[in-house]
Amino acid sequence: MKNKKNVIYALTLPLVVVSGLVFANGGIKNETEGPKKLLSTAEVKARMEEGRKKWEASPDGLRYKDWEVSPEGKKVHASHDKIRKNIEAFSNMEAVVTSVTFRRENAGSSGPKWLIVKINGEEYMMQFIPKEFEQLKSLKVNDKIILKSRSAGYSPNHPYLILSGDYIEKNNKVLFKRDFSKNNRC
């Protein structure tokens, strides 16, 4: 029995020593490589431009470009132009709810919930996860609300400009306010 223990120790000891050397050597290599070089602003812009050009040449990019110049795409862009200053200033926009039951084709019931609103005669979409949408369950079609949005997005798969739903109030009562401290201001 003692011989078996000695054999196990004799086999384990070199393994431990070799493992230690491998890890130590790996640590030394990392230290001698030095810090990674930060990219200049020009290099970052060049890489972003290169990525954008690759995307524009992809099938999705080509479809998006076709949509952009279509009547539907032009209408969505024009609707963005109408509220751009409000988004940039994060200021109040008066809206009327036109749908609380909108659902994209082939979307499951657990998917995002959409609120469709009309601002100055143009319709806009606001997307919420089901948990967030619970706070808006009291809204009905033709309700007048005040909303604020920090951003907007285009999609050829959606009929209207998509606004971020960051703040919604009805009759001076806040129904929804996005907490930016929880998601790194996204």
Strand-pairing partners, residue 162, are 125, 153
Band of the pLDDT at 181, cuts 50, 70, 90? confident
pLDDT of 183 strictly over 60: no
pLDDT at residue 6, as a whole number: 58
Q: Which residues contact 9 (CB under 8 A, 6 or more apart)?
A: none
Place of tokens 């060049």: 46
Residues in the chain: 186
Query: Would you state the pLDDT for residue 174?
Result: 94
- Using a 10 angstrom Cβ sphere, with 0-12 exposed, 13-18 middle and 19 or more buried, the burial of residue 102 is middle
Residue 14: per-residue pLDDT? 62
Looking at residue 9, its pLDDT comes to 58
Residue 149 pLDDT exceeds 70 = yes
Cβ atoms 151, 185 nearer than 8 A? no
The DSSP bridge partners found for residue 3 are none
Above 60 in pLDDT, residue 28?
A: no
The two beta strands, 161-163 and 173-177, are unpaired
Separation between Cα atoms, residue 131 and residue 97, nearest integer Å: 19
The two beta strands, 167-170 and 144-148, are antiparallel
**Residue-by-residue DSSP string for 29-40:** HHHHH-PPPPPP
- Tokens 């209408």 correspond to 75
**Tens digits of per-residue pLDDT, 37-67?**
788 889 889 999 999 999 889 999 999 999 9
pLDDT at 26: 60
End-to-end CA distance of the chain: 64
Under 8 Å between Cβ of 97 and 139: yes
Report pLDDT for 180.
73
Helix and strand numbers (H, E) in the chain are: 5, 8
Q: Report the candidate in 71, 96, 95, 80 with the shortest Cα–Cα distance to residue 154.
A: 80
The mean of the pLDDT values for the chain is: 83
pLDDT by residue (tens digit) across 96-133? Answer: 999 998 876 666 666 788 999 999 999 999 988 888 89
**3-state SS, residue 149:** coil
Most confident of 17-21, 93-97, 100-104: 93-97
The share of the chain scoring above pLDDT 70, in percent, equals 75
